[in-house]
Structure 1
Amino acid sequence: MSNRVINLLVPVISIILGLIVGAIVMIFSGYDPVTAYIALWNGIFGDAYAIGETIRQISPYILAGLAVAFAFRAGLFNIGVEGQLIVGWFAAAYVGSAFDLPKIIHLPFALIAAALAGALWGLVPGILKAALRVHEVIVTIMMNYIALHVVNALIKTVSGSYKTEKIHETASLRSEFLSNITDYSTLHYGILVALAMVGVMWFLLDKTKTGYELKSVGFNEHASQYAGMNVNRNIVLSMVISGAFAGLAGSMEALGTFGYLANLGGFTGIGFDGIAVALLGANTPLGVIFGASLFGSLKYGAGNMPNEAGVPTEIVSIIIALIIFFVASGYIIRVILNRVNKKKGAK
């Protein structure tokens, strides 16, 4: 069994263990796990509408996961994806509603505005880390709260109401074609944007000199500096690119799902879930698609569990937490698989 096969098996086994332990939790809580998992399945794949909504849910998770994973690959822990997502959401909603342009200009303009807003929010912790060695975890956590309250204040200032104006059709990711084939779901072309960004991250990290330097700095700052790389520049750059991915995640909500931004009473949770998505995907672009698909499916499918099986949606949160727990314990699973592999080789 090769290392690549083992790397693939670890998250799969983690998911299976999470589902099994989740079933045990449901049994002890007085619920039927078989009925609950059937309801979950139907909530995800039951009909065209459910499939459309599930795919729509996956889009921002892919981008949030890419944001976390990209920073991880550069040796940084970006906890501020949530805040970067919020400012990106506002920027996309504002540009989408404040300007009246042809679609070929308006939609890219709104997407770029979201990416730039997220990048700007990532720039601050990047500079503080590079110049003063202030730990990025502390700064990014604080930036989340700043983003939440600043954006709420901006909504009130710009619109004079509790929400922004509805975006123009020319800035929308929505499609009548996608809506019709998925029984009028809110599925939009954001999934294509998200998948395109997966390709961008892969190309940037694995096929460019800049990506090589970013990964080198992530592995060992001192060795990279000794090799002549500009460590501080790469730290700032990694946080800026990570923030841009997060800002685009916000644009999925502004230009696709909702079409506006209402006053936020709290965090969306997508940015924080992006940490688990990146962890489950082993911080690789392809793995992030897998992790985001799992999270998006579970999050949306959970809504069907109370109606069809009488199981509270909190059970799904427990299952997700269990999966994360087993992924975090992946070293133990890896050791067991390696031992099994060695025994087979010995025989």
Structure 2
Amino acid sequence: MTTPTDEPNPTGHTPGPTVKEPPAKAPVSKDDDRWNAAFRSIVAGNAAVAFFSVLLAVLVGSLLIMFTDDRVRETFGYVTARPGDFFSASWDAIWGAYTALFRGAVFNPGREGGPALDFATQIRPLTETLKFAGPLIAAGLGVGLAFRAALFNIGGRGQMLLAGAASGWVAYQFELPWPIHLTLAIVAGMLAAALWGGLVGFLKARTGAHEVILTIMLNYVAYYLVFFALSEQSLLQAPNTVNPKSLPAHESATLPKLLGDRFNLHLGFLLALVAVAVVWWILNRSSLGFRIRAVGANPAAARSSGIDVGRTYTVVMMISGALVGLAGVNQVLGTVTSGVTTDLDAGIGFDAITVALLGRSKPIGIMFAGLLFGAFKAGGFAMQASENIPVDIVLVVQSLIVLFIAAPALVRAIFRLPAREAA
């Protein structure tokens, strides 16, 4: 009886040891591959960097809240003897600050043991957030659209001032039926800002001047033009006063409130949402959007393919100015008690740059970024009033968001996110 190893070998060579084949791997389904690829795409994408940038900024803001709190500083003096007091005080300070931010920006359930609040009072913070978000979204869209064409529009302040001045003048100078008067005031403001922004694009196209220098200088020009107009009663200044302020808009030119007189939320927020849809359509469904993206990616290649780069610059800056101007219109026509002043921009022209960066210059992203910064504005005042925390901390958090967004490699290294190329 022979075994398989005792069989004759016709070649005359001694057979070597048998090598076992590795066990076959379980087949990976196409669904698993698709979900894994989707997960890698999300983690390596820009949205993840933006999210973790906000998270990092909030964490750093928490440290600032801790060390601006009197109780935390007191317990830090004997932290080695009783560390529990320090950590308890730190948690109370951070929790109190961010819950106050939530109550002031989203929903106010009322304090424990306090009087019950009606539903209108509870949701009022959310309406304030939406009110603040409206001009931020509009101005952010203008800056983001310019970014897509590789243009840096930091002239938001000047564009908002001229838009506010034009819409405010129409709003109190004429008496017309409500829909006509309001529409005319909005169009006048957006047109003034569009021409001011288009001037930047025209000069860049014709002379090659840098848009950053142009927009900075035109901010000053616009400010002093509006200041001069507000100092002359024959132009914008309200009669019988020496203050640089115009008369308030007639009620027929005021943006109507959406939820009644108890809330400050008005039509300006809906106009900002309409602007989001329009800009999305321009960028993704129109030939103009294709030209904008082509010029932003490579102006030389776009010119070689027959695209008029100079004309595209002018058109983009006109649309960008009109969108930023919509924010200025929102500020002036938002309430019947407002009017044109030299500080109507309220820093929105520069906040729009942060919103556009956080939203990655995409309309939907800018909308959510505007909502976030609107919540910061609405909740920051509540945080200061209820917890005695400086409202400047909110500004620090906003600045840190920009810092971390500008350093995506740092964010990816901290949270071990894969690089986008690897995805």
Q: Give TM-score scaled by structure 2 length.
A: 0.76
Q: Which runs of 5+ in 1 are unaligned?
A: none
One-letter identity of the residue aligned with 2:253: A
Q: What do residues 304-346 of structure 1 show as CA deviations (whole Å, max 9, x unaligned)?
A: 112211101011111111222122222333463116997xx9x
**8 A Cα contact 2:157 2:350, kept in partner:** yes
Residues of 2 paired with 1:296 and 1:209: CA distance?
A: 33
Q: What do residues 255-308 of structure 1 show as CA deviations (whole Å, max 9, x unaligned)?
A: 114654343259621010000000000000000011111111101210011221
Tell me what 1:15 maps to. 54
Whether 1:36 aligns to 2:127 is: no
Whether 1:93 aligns to 2:168 is: yes
Which shifted more, 25-34 or 237-246?
25-34
Residues of 2 paired with 1:27 and 1:137: CA distance?
A: 38
1:40-59 aligned at under 5 Å gives the runs: 40-45=101-106, 46=108, 47-59=122-134
Q: What do residues 108-159 of structure 1 show as CA deviations (whole Å, max 9, x unaligned)?
A: 1111111101101102211110000000000101111111111121123224
Whether 1:167 aligns to 2:249 is: yes
**8 A Cα contact 1:68 1:275, kept in partner:** yes
Q: 1:281 to 1:258 in 2, by over 3 A?
A: farther
**8 A Cα contact 1:174 1:186, kept in partner:** no
Kindly tell me the number of residue pairs found equivalent between the two proteins.
339
Identity %: 38
Q: What do residues 231-259 of structure 1 show as CA deviations (whole Å, max 9, x unaligned)?
A: 11001111111000011110101111465
**8 A Cα contact 1:131 1:232, kept in partner:** yes
**8 A Cα contact 1:148 1:267, kept in partner:** no
Whether 1:27 aligns to 2:105 is: no
SS of the residue 2:334 aligns to:
helix
Tell me what 2:226 maps to. 151
**Any runs of at least 4 consecutive aligned residues in structure 1 with deviations exceeding 3 A, and if so which?**
257-260, 339-342
Give the structure, 1 or 2, with the largest relative contact order (CA under 8 Å, sep 6 or more). 1
- Residue among 204, 209, 213 paired with 2:291: 213
For the aligned residue pairs, the C-alpha RMSD in angstroms reads 2.0
Structure 1 or 2, whichever has the larger Rg, is: 2
Which shifted more, 63-72 or 1-10?
1-10
Whether 1:310 aligns to 2:397 is: no
Whether 1:244 aligns to 2:322 is: yes
Residues of 1 paired with 2:226 and 2:339: CA distance?
A: 9
SS of the residue 1:338 aligns to:
coil
**8 A Cα contact 2:165 2:340, kept in partner:** no
Which shifted more, 159-168 or 75-84?
159-168
Q: Which runs of 5+ in 2 are unaligned?
A: 1-38, 71-92, 109-121, 239-243
Which shifted more, 303-312 or 257-266?
257-266
One-letter identity of the residue aligned with 1:294: L
Residues of 2 paired with 1:340 and 1:97: CA distance?
A: 53
Residues of 1 paired with 2:355 and 2:237: CA distance?
A: 36
Tell me what 1:283 maps to. 361
Q: Give TM-score scaled by structure 1 length.
A: 0.92
One-letter identity of the residue aligned with 1:34: W
Which structure's residues are more often helix, by fraction?
A: 1
**8 A Cα contact 1:172 1:259, kept in partner:** no
